[in-house]
Amino acid sequence: MSVSNTFFKLINNSIKFNFFLLTKLPSAFFCGVRVQYADEKKCVVTVPYKWLSQNPFKSTYFACLSMAAEMSTGILAMAHLYKRNPAVSMLVLNINGNFIKKATGKTTFTCTDGLVIQQTIEAAMFDGQSKTVTTKSAGCNENGEVIAIFEITWGFKAKQQ
């Protein structure tokens, strides 16, 4: 089994991933952010509208939407970094959100930039220089209407051995 397949097996195991969220990202856990699907190319993450994710305007708080969007891109980055040698560090450098419609139910964020993330990581490993990639995650409501579009810029750098 390849390293990325091992990673996706962990991510797609709801018990193990929920434990990871609870211990490493408790805000996302309690707000209900969950990975619905992940492979090397694509990641789908949902966030519900509920008491812990609401704002005073009866919609999902922008920070909860941001968490879900960032996770849909970050899972792809983590997958391509899993057990790399040398290790590669990752960091969010910029996040830009465009809010189009009020989020009043479950919002599903999808990022399909897995291959460009992988290429960026491999370039950072090849020459040892920092590399950046701007990823896109679109959030849709249960009717398929776009709620928000986020652009998240990630930085990658191979660690010195």
Fold type of domain 3-158 = Thiol Ester Dehydrase; Chain A (3.10.129)
Given a contact cutoff of 8 angstroms between Cβ atoms, the answer to whether 130 and 157 are in contact is yes
Per the listing, tokens 């999808």 go with 110
So where are the chain's domains? 3-158
pLDDT at 55: 87
Mean pLDDT of the region 111-139: 94
Name the CA radius of gyration of the chain, rounded: 16
Strand ranges in the chain using DSSP code E only, listed in sequence order? 34-38, 43-47, 88-99, 107-111, 131-140, 146-158
Strands 34-38 and 43-47: antiparallel
Please give the single-letter amino acid code of residue 29. F
pLDDT tens profile 57-99: 999 999 999 999 999 999 999 999 988 888 889 999 999 999 9
